[in-house]
Structures are given as C-alpha cells and as structure tokens.
Amino acid sequence: MNIKGILIENPVIAALRNDKDLENVLNSKALVVFVLYGNIMNIAKICNKLREAKKIVFIHLDMIDGLKGDQAGIEFIKEFANPEGIITTKSSNVKYAKQLGLYTIQRVFIIDSLFLRTGIKNIHETGPNAVEVMPGVASKIIHTMEKEINVPIIAGGLIKSKKDVMDSLAAGAIAISTTSTELWNL
C-alpha cells in the first residue's frame, strides 16, 4: 500500500477522540483515520469497525489506556488491532514498529527553535515513514521541516477551518489530521 499516495489523494485525516467520533467517521468521506482513544479491551473492536467501513487505520500508541509503550505493547496492537500503522512521540516505538512492518508516524511538538532542531534530529535517527507536526497551523515550521527531512509531513493540532487545511497543505504538508468533523468531508 502506498500510504504517501493515499494521503496526497485524501489529505484530510479524521482524528477520533471518542465513540461519537467513531460513529461520525463511518459514513464520512475521510479514508484515513487516526485513533486517539481507547484501551486494551476495546481497541481491536474500534479498529475492526473502521476496517469494515473500508477506512485505513492508525493507532496513537501513547493514547491507548492500559497499553505500555514498549515492544510487547506494539506486538499486542499489531496482532489484536491490526492497524495499517501507528502514531507515537517515542523514537523507540517508531524503530520497533517499523521492524514489525507497521507504517510509522512520529508526532513532534514544535514550540520553539530548540524543539525544531531536536525534532529534525530525532526524525533523521528514527526514520519514520511520516511525521505529524503539532501544531498543524504553524506553516512556517512545516516549510522549514520540509526542507530538512525527507519524509511526508502531516499537520495536526488546531486545524479548525478549510483555510487552515489549505495553508498547511500549501506550506508543504501532504495531509492534515483534525478532530473537526465538519472538515472530514472536504
């Protein structure tokens, strides 16, 4: 599966925070879904429901209750939830998930120039398949990172309008993730 191509063709990613979001996304135009909630008891059910609706699923490992962000946790997610890939802020999770054949998205928070330099260094060291830059409305940061790294950039966080989507894409992001359900059908 060519995830980069899918993201270019479907640049709005639905980011789900709860079961209501899950129900809303099932009939939306959003093809790619970031699962930002759940626990070890229900994550497989959430993913199955999304796959039945023909969605491409990514699980944010750091946000699943009861799941320790380690090798066993990643193996559990791969075996029982079977997503296309994972999202994480942890470099060690990126490395291990890649070894297991999962598509990896490293989420980085850029709040100042030090975080920007550290984020770029970590991306070069871990080699994720894509990077999610937070906050996603920081088009200057996206433009700077695009020149420094050679992986697709997804803008996430504070994306609330069509203009935010367009600005992030114009800055160099190939896709955006948002919890704003009204943007899922763009």
pLDDT tens across 42-83, in order? Answer: 999 999 999 999 999 999 999 999 998 899 999 999 999 999
* Contact by Cβ (8 Å): 24, 171: no
Token digits for 159? 């994306």
For residue 49, what are the contacts with CB-CB under 8 A and spacing of at least 6?
Answer: 22, 26
Measured CA to CA, the distance from residue 62 to residue 78 in angstroms comes to 15
* Contact by Cβ (8 Å): 156, 169: no
> Given 3.30.160.100, 1.10.540.10, 3.40.50.2000, 3.20.20.70, which CATH number is that of 3-183?
3.20.20.70
pTM for the complete prediction? 0.93
Cα 39 versus chain centre, distance: 18
